[in-house]
Homo-oligomer: A and B are copies of this chain.
Amino acid sequence: MELFQVVTRAEAQQKLVCYWPLPGRQELTLSLLEALGRELARPVIAREDVPGFTRATMDGYAVRAADTFGARESEPVFLRLAGEVPMGRAAAVTVGPGEAAAVATGSMLPPGADAVVMIENTDVAGEGLIAVFKPVAPGQDLVRQGADVRAGSTVLPAGHLLRPQDLGVLASLGVTRVTVYEPWRVGILATGNEIVAPEDEPGPGQVRDINSSTLAALVRECGARATLYGIAPDDLQDLTARVRSALAENHLVLLSGGSSVGTRDLTVRVVEGLGESELLFHGVAIRPGKPTVAAVAGGKMVVGLPGHPVSAMVVFRILIAPLLRYGGYNRRTGAGTVTAALGRQVTSIPGREDYIRVRLEAGPAGWVALPVPGGSSIISSLVQADGLVLVPLEEEGLEAGAIVEVELF
């Protein structure tokens, strides 16, 4: 009774992804918050440096690093306090040799200075004089103009899915509107003579439509737009007409029920009747979900899901969700955690939990988590990072190669 050619899941995915992304998506220009979760239609290029000026990343004093060389607890270096740089203002003071200027985290570094001494390593030594107990190297505890994002560089490529941290980086660049693709439009059509709408009272032998609600919600969770086309009886002409009108208004149409054994040929005959259509597969070697049918027709896609709600949901999650959400199967699938091998050693201080930002790379034996350089003042590190790795409270660090759970951003 095996009437159709069954493909493996991998083969089914491969066939679907050949036609993905489907053509015909419109571009929309939206505010940042409206664009959350959407796919960038064009790359975003930085129009300016971030930060726009060299900034202190600690509270303390802006100094000439060379002046602090040799300083120690027992033999501090004394510097003359030349003034202070108020937050949010241009530096009105210049730091000359033997001088320091008070700065807060985020203050502009005054001319002449090339490093910041943390306030914890200083003391007030008298009227207009500070003592420095530790030397600093040039560049210490500051972030230079353009070190985070350089004007003219690509901040986010086309196709990028906008996450909360991406919106922050765009805000920092003064980019408050972005061009994204419209959400995928997905039409949903339940089929079956025995199916009635959830709000109707089923007669003898009838059941209420479950799949339309479940599939519409799954589509929404993928950031796509679901439109319901009601319940079609198992009638070729009626079903074809409904599929045709759903295809006109959507990129993808999901049928549920028409691929069960009793009516399995109906979906295929509907697809054949559409013209310009190609059957991609008819049956997948998975359980539940075997009687799944997929076809393309006129640049649109039709997938016939099994009628059993459990099967329909499993097939949606395996075959459809990755397309809608990521446009393929090669990217990591969704928020949550993935297991990875740490790409290099990281150190930590016992008594504190360290959250290390990592980038994921596919290695021969699975994911590799590479720590992203840059302190917490480096905004672009959030764009580069795929997730966080926790160094537990009492650990001194993690070895290279350690198996870690990466909490995805």
Chain A residues within 8 Å of B, Cβ to Cβ:
1, 8-9, 32-33, 36-37, 51-53, 55, 59, 85-91, 104-108, 119-120, 163-165, 167-176, 192-195, 198-199, 201-218, 220-221, 226, 234, 260-262, 285-290, 306-311, 313-314, 317-318, 334-339, 348-349, 351-355, 357, 375-379, 381-382, 388, 393, 405, 407-409
Q: A91's closest neighbor in chain B, by CB?
A: B205
A36 proximity list for chain B (CB < 8 A): 217, 220-221
- Bound together, the chains give a CA A409 to CA B316 distance in angstroms of 12
Q: How many copies, total?
A: 2
Given contacts A1-B119, A33-B216, A379-B310, contact A287 B355 (CB under 8 A): yes
Q: Which of B205, B213, B377 contacts A308 (CB 8 A)?
A: B377
Quick check: A164 and B1 within 8 Å, CB to CB? Answer: no
Q: Which residues of B contact A119 (CB under 8 A)?
A: 1
- Nearest Cβ distance between residue A92 and chain B, in whole angstroms? 10
**In the complex, which of the residues B9, B88, B226 contacts A205, with contact meaning CB atoms closer than 8 Å?**
B88
Chain B hits for A52, CB < 8 A: 202, 207
Tell me the dominant secondary structure on chain A's binding face. loop
Partner of A382 from B106, B194, B310, B377 at Cβ < 8 Å = B310
Known contacts A59-B262, A105-B307, A213 near B289 by CB under 8 Å:
no
Cβ contact within 8 Å between B120 and A1: yes
Complexed CA–CA distance, A192 and B104 (Å): 11
A377-B336 CB under 8 A given contacts A88-B205, A210-B171? no
> Top 10 nearest A-B pairs by Cβ distance?
A336-B336, A90-B204, A88-B194, A164-B217, A168-B214, A310-B376, A171-B198, A288-B376, A104-B262, A108-B205
A310→B354 contact, CB < 8 A: no
A183 to chain B, nearest CB (A): 15
A-B contact pairs, 22 of them (CB 8 A): A8-B353, A9-B393, A33-B217, A36-B217, A52-B202, A52-B207, A88-B192, A89-B205, A90-B205, A106-B260, A168-B213, A168-B309, A176-B198, A286-B354, A287-B348, A287-B354, A288-B355, A308-B376, A310-B379, A310-B382, A337-B337, A339-B405
Task: Check A170/B213 contact, CB under 8 A, given A90-B203, A287-B354, A376-B288.
Answer: yes
Distance to closest chain B CB from A227 (angstroms): 11
B214 close to A164 (CB less than 8 A): yes
Contacts of A261 in B (CB 8 A): 59, 104-105
Contact A213:B167 (CB < 8 A) given known A108-B205, A310-B357, A314-B355: yes
The chain B residue with its CB closest to the CB of A357 is B310
CA distance A212 to B86 in the complex (A): 23
